[in-house]
């Protein structure tokens, strides 16, 4: 979602008559897109259930289906703006170069973590707390990268000799 310019799809948002606090329109758009991504057309009750299950989409808030429906239309229709957005997403996902990069990145990450666990004989993260855990993971990653660099330099020196 960060690569797509969402603001051009959310330009004319009307204000509520009673000046209530509105839901974040970007989160609402994400919710609708994720709902359509799985099943195409989706009922508002099913979209509400998706919001309850995937609360990260709405920042922990659970809107009712009444919030999701339009006042004049009870059926949620796919409009041309979402179709354009969907085509842009598909173009980004089906680009051959990006597919190869994404595949290689997944393979490299799995191999790197396997090597880190086997070489360092680490079974789990020792630290507690988010900050301490992040520091430990970053330090182990730096050590791993330094070992890779050292081995690469050593191989280059042995080939030159």
Residue 60, pLDDT above cutoff 70: no
Structure token pair of residue 6:
């969402």
Residue 51 makes CB contacts below 8 A (sequence gap 6+) with 31, 57, 58, 62, 63
Distance CA(117)–CA(115), nearest Å, equals: 5
Residue 127, pLDDT above cutoff 80: no
In angstroms, how far is the first alpha carbon of the chain from the final one?
A: 51
Q: Where is pLDDT greater, at 56 or 158?
A: 158
With vertex at residue 38, the alpha carbon angle to CA 110 and CA 33, rounded to the nearest 5 degrees, is: 95
As a whole-number percent, the residues of the chain with pLDDT over 70 amount to 46
pTM of the model: 0.30
């Amino acid at each position: 979602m960060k690569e797509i310019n969402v603001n051009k799809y959310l330009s004319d948002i009307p204000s509520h008559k009673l000046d209530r606090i509105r839901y974040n329109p970007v989160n609402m758009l994400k919710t609708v897109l994720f709902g359509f991504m799985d099943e195409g057309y989706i009922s508002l009750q099913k979209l509400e259930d998706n919001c309850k299950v995937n609360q990260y989409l709405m920042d922990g808030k659970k809107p009712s289906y009444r919030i999701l429906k339009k006042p004049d239309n009870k059926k949620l229709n796919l409009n041309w703006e979402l179709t354009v957005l969907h085509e842009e997403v598909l173009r980004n996902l089906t680009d051959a170069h990006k597919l190869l990069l994404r595949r290689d990145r997944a393979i490299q990450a799995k191999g790197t973590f396997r090597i880190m666990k086997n070489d360092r004989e680490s079974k789990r993260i020792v630290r507690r707390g988010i900050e301490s855990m992040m520091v430990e993971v970053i330090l182990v990653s730096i050590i791993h990268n330094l070992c890779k660099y050292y081995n690469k330099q050593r191989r280059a020196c042995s080939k030159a000799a």
